[in-house]
Structure 1
Amino acid sequence: MHTPASMVMGIVFAPLGLVLVFTAVITPQWREGQARLNIGGPGSFLRGGTKGQGAGARSGSADALLLLRSDGLWESCLQVEHSELKQCWPVFGPYQRDPRVRLVQGLVLASLFLCGIGIVLACVGVRCWTDLPLRRVAASGGMLVVIAGLLSLTGLGVYTHNLRRLGVDPSRGVGNPRFPQLSLNPAGSLYLGWLGSCLQLLGGSALALSFKRPRCPTCPSRQEQAVCPACRSCPEITSKTDVDVYEVSC
């Protein structure tokens, strides 16, 4: 029996979506921003520390550094443009305590867990090494993958909607020169998450179509009797070779 196209599509798209969402979760590029930090002023706290670094760490003008900041769900990074100076650290402070960030963390973790279980069920249900797949098992796995895709899409939507407000501490003040204002924008990991979530929905929906039974051919001599691949009651079908009756395409 040929493996249904919906199962093949689901068993390909669901793991691919899981890999993309997992990659987005562990990388710190959910949002990124740039800030030009003046170091030439009389009150600058970086002026003395940059005298011995040379012009390679400076960007734009001789008295400014362009800082590149990126935040993820569990890690943040800071880098000086055109320089190898880069440091990453676990998220902390207002950003870590923000309830919206914690909500997104819980949603994506639940999505990964459900998607993994759904893929395992789908692999057991497809059973491309046998003649007849377990359609209900494969479809149940597809439903779990669909739920996982919806959870990750919800988390991504919450993060994207509040991207510029996550972890903002009003007590610092916008005009403080020691904390330059960052223009935060969506970054690559966020786009990977969106793509992976859409693939999860596509793959899970395709697997969920496995609930629908295929149409079996009818016996030419007895039109009222349906014939499945394991049927041996029809002489016209049983006379064919085993390869024709039990052909499996994985």
Structure 2
Amino acid sequence: MRTPVVMTLGMVLAPCGLLLNLTATLAPGWRLVKGFLDQPVDLELYQGLWDICREQASLERQCGQTDEWGYFQAQPVAVARGLMPASLAVTALGLLLAALGVRCWQERPRFALAGLSGVVLFAAGLLSLIPVSWYNHFLDDRAVLPAEASPVTVHVGYSLVLGYLGGCLLLLGGSSLALSFAPWCEERCRGCRKAPPGTPRRSSVSTVHVDWPEPALAPAIRYYSDGRHLPRPAELGAAAKPRVGFPMPRPRPSAYANPVDALRGEGADSPDSSLPSTRRCGDSLPCDSDL
């Protein structure tokens, strides 16, 4: 049996989401701070969940900077520190269940296990989107996420973008794998609908075969060919080819067809009245006087 499309899609999207979330969790790029008055113009600070890095165009990036404003004690940062690793752990568990359910080494997949892995991956996507969305909501709020006052500006870092993409991919992959519950539910329902042993099974209409008798031909329908009737094909044998048709009525004779000379014996005063008369007026065929 080939692997269903929903399973293949889930197995592709879930590892991509895991990789993006791992990068977003470890990289110090959740927030970009720049525009310091007493610092070089090109100075930028990248703040993440675990580190703060200083970067200039003329110098290499220097990480491990001191937290002067109490950034790591902010509530969104603390929540993200707990939920992002939890999302990674749940994603790994979901991928393990998916690998066992999709059965790369078995003939048929385990639909129930694959559907359960989809639910786990969907939960992992939610665990990653919650801290990312919360952090982005308070990004410019200096009372929640401390930073220097204006003219210092804060911007969205690349880690937030990667976190959003990773969470969405986990949601899509988990939903796709969760669709594997459909064949499993169908099999369970099919098993419940089976009749108990000993119960007579009713035959369906599609299995009933009725042998209808061959209808007799109407009296007006005959096998007619070359002016004479022919027997039925069953009487002639399988080699005979029947011709079915209607008998054509013969034409009646013309009303005034007269094969006898109508002038002979037309009257008694005729000079030739001594001849035997073969035709008299009043016969069935018309005389000259009828015309």
TM-score normalised according to structure 1 size: 0.68
CA-CA distance at 1:189 after TM superposition: 1.3
Contact 2:33 2:155 survives alignment (8 Å) = yes
Q: Are 2:13 and 1:4 aligned?
A: no
Any idea what SS the aligned residue of 2:52 has? strand
Which residue matches 2:132?
A: 156
Residue among 98, 103, 107 paired with 2:74: 98
64-73 or 101-110: bigger deviation: 64-73
Any idea what SS the aligned residue of 2:35 has? strand
Contact 1:77 1:86 survives alignment (8 Å) = yes
CA-CA distance at 1:99 after TM superposition: 1.8
Q: What residue identity is the alignment partner of 1:14?
A: A
Which residue matches 1:127?
A: 103
Q: Are 2:119 and 1:143 aligned?
A: yes
Residue among 58, 61, 86 paired with 1:110: 86
Which residue matches 1:196?
A: 166
CA-CA distance at 1:108 after TM superposition: 1.0
Aligned-pair identity in percent equals: 38
Flag structure 2 segments of 5+ consecutive residues without an equivalent: 188-193, 195-291
For residues 36 and 80 of structure 2, the distance between their equivalents in structure 1, rounded to whole angstroms, comes to 30
Which residue matches 1:15?
A: 15
CA-CA distance at 1:128 after TM superposition: 2.2
Q: Which structure is higher in strand share?
A: 1
Q: Are 2:142 and 1:167 aligned?
A: no
Q: Are 2:62 and 1:87 aligned?
A: yes
Residue among 65, 68, 77 paired with 2:44: 68
Contact 2:52 2:66 survives alignment (8 Å) = yes
CA displacement 1:60-113 (0-9 Å, x = unmatched): xxxx53311111111111122x21243111674511111221111111111111
Check 1:91–1:141 CA distance in 2 against 1; reply closer, same or farther (3 A cut).
farther
Higher relative contact order (CA 8 A, sep 6+): 1
For residues 206 and 150 of structure 1, the distance between their equivalents in structure 2, rounded to whole angstroms, comes to 15
Contact 1:125 1:134 survives alignment (8 Å) = yes
Which residue matches 1:35?
A: 35
Contact 2:103 2:109 survives alignment (8 Å) = yes
For residues 152 and 32 of structure 1, the distance between their equivalents in structure 2, rounded to whole angstroms, comes to 20
TM-score normalised according to structure 2 size: 0.59
For residues 120 and 112 of structure 2, the distance between their equivalents in structure 1, rounded to whole angstroms, comes to 12
For residues 82 and 26 of structure 2, the distance between their equivalents in structure 1, rounded to whole angstroms, comes to 14
Larger radius of gyration: 2
Contact 2:90 2:124 survives alignment (8 Å) = yes
RMSD: 2.2
Q: Which structure is higher in helix share?
A: 1
Check 1:114–1:91 CA distance in 2 against 1; reply closer, same or farther (3 A cut).
farther
Contact 1:74 1:91 survives alignment (8 Å) = no
Contact 1:36 1:66 survives alignment (8 Å) = no
For residues 188 and 87 of structure 1, the distance between their equivalents in structure 2, rounded to whole angstroms, comes to 18
Q: What residue identity is the alignment partner of 2:22?
A: F
For residues 189 and 7 of structure 1, the distance between their equivalents in structure 2, rounded to whole angstroms, comes to 28
